[in-house]
Structure 1
Amino acid sequence: MNASQRDEQAQNLGLLFLRVAGGLFLLWVHGLPKLLHFSEQLQLIEDPFRLGPHLTLLLAIFAEVLCPLLIVAGVLARLACLPILFVLLVALLLVHPQWSVAEGQFGWLLLILFSTVLIAGPGRLAFGARLPGVLRYA
């Protein structure tokens, strides 16, 4: 294996780690609590677009449960980043605009992480890497 192949392998391992760690972290900290405690979360969720708490919570669950699972698997990973980034931007800019960078650091770090996956893609160590054509890059 030459140096170029080692570099590519290291990049793919790095993207795998980023996808899996970030996706599972978002799922564990935000997604599963919303899914498992749906009724309680209905009382707590902010509704900045006035869609109603039920629809707002369902959209948040989509972004914080289904999308991270797709990213972890590397299937439609770039596309799956978009709802997550939207929810993060809404939370940071509309729901909690009073937060300092220190108070919102978790959200900002997730924004950086999923923006990186959006830009770089899932890498070759992804189930999506075996999909045909446009699906591979979505």
Structure 2
Amino acid sequence: MTTSEVQGRPKTLADISLSLGLLFLRVSAAVLLLQIHGLPKLLNWSTELQRIEDPFGLGANLTLAMAVFAEVICPVLLILGVFARLACLPVLAVLGVALVVVHPEWSLEQAQFAWLFTVLYAGLAMTGPGAWAIKVPAFFQRF
């Protein structure tokens, strides 16, 4: 993060490009996850309860609730840039469980979409939201 980003709005072309790129990545990744996975689970809750895998024996309701949290609430936080790094972690956890526990038989070709999401969300967890994000109190800015 550059000095001008810490102080507020980006001031140089490089800062603007970085901020615009991070905004584009976080909004794109979040909208894709919401549209493809999150909202269908939320809007078809009863159907999803019958279909969802429960790899840790927590029960379908809790497993689905955790998936909806990771795939609906966390992407909304990411779009806003609020707790962006922290919001990436549940998504990465769900992706990790899907790839390693639920679908270990998937080839790289079958799992490519999950791997692309993993790359996007891991990158955003490392970089943070960029300058164009809703500001949170200073105590929470490290998240």
The TM-score with structure 1 as length reference comes to 0.94
Paired residues of 1:78 and 1:121 also in contact (CA < 8 A): yes
Question: Displacement, 1:134?
Answer: 3.5
Structure 1: which amino acid aligns with 2:133?
A: A
Aligned to 2:34: 27
Percent identity over the alignment? Answer: 51
Residue 133 of structure 1 pairs with residue 138 of structure 2: yes
Aligned length: 133
Aligned to 1:107: 114
Residue 89 of structure 1 pairs with residue 130 of structure 2: no
Residue 73 of structure 1 pairs with residue 80 of structure 2: yes
Quick one: distance in 2 between partners of 1:116 and 1:11?
13
Aligned to 1:55: 62
2:24 partner SS? helix
Measured on the aligned residues, the alpha-carbon RMSD in Å equals 1.0
Unaligned runs of 5+ in 2: 1-10
Question: Displacement, 1:137?
Answer: 3.0
Question: Displacement, 1:70?
Answer: 0.1
Quick one: distance in 1 between partners of 2:73 and 2:136?
19
Whose helix proportion is higher, 1 or 2? 1
Question: Displacement, 1:136?
Answer: 2.3
Query: 1:100/1:134 Cα in 2 relative to 1: closer, same or farther (>3 Å)?
Result: farther
Quick one: distance in 2 between partners of 1:58 and 1:14?
31
Question: Displacement, 1:5?
Answer: 1.1
Residue 40 of structure 1 pairs with residue 47 of structure 2: yes
Quick one: distance in 1 between partners of 2:62 and 2:138?
33
Quick one: distance in 1 between partners of 2:86 and 2:70?
11
Paired residues of 1:20 and 1:71 also in contact (CA < 8 A): yes
Residue 121 of structure 1 pairs with residue 142 of structure 2: no
Paired residues of 1:121 and 1:137 also in contact (CA < 8 A): no
Question: Displacement, 1:132?
Answer: 2.5
Paired residues of 1:77 and 1:122 also in contact (CA < 8 A): yes
Q: Which runs of 4+ in 1 moved over 3 A?
A: none
Quick one: distance in 1 between partners of 2:79 and 2:125?
13
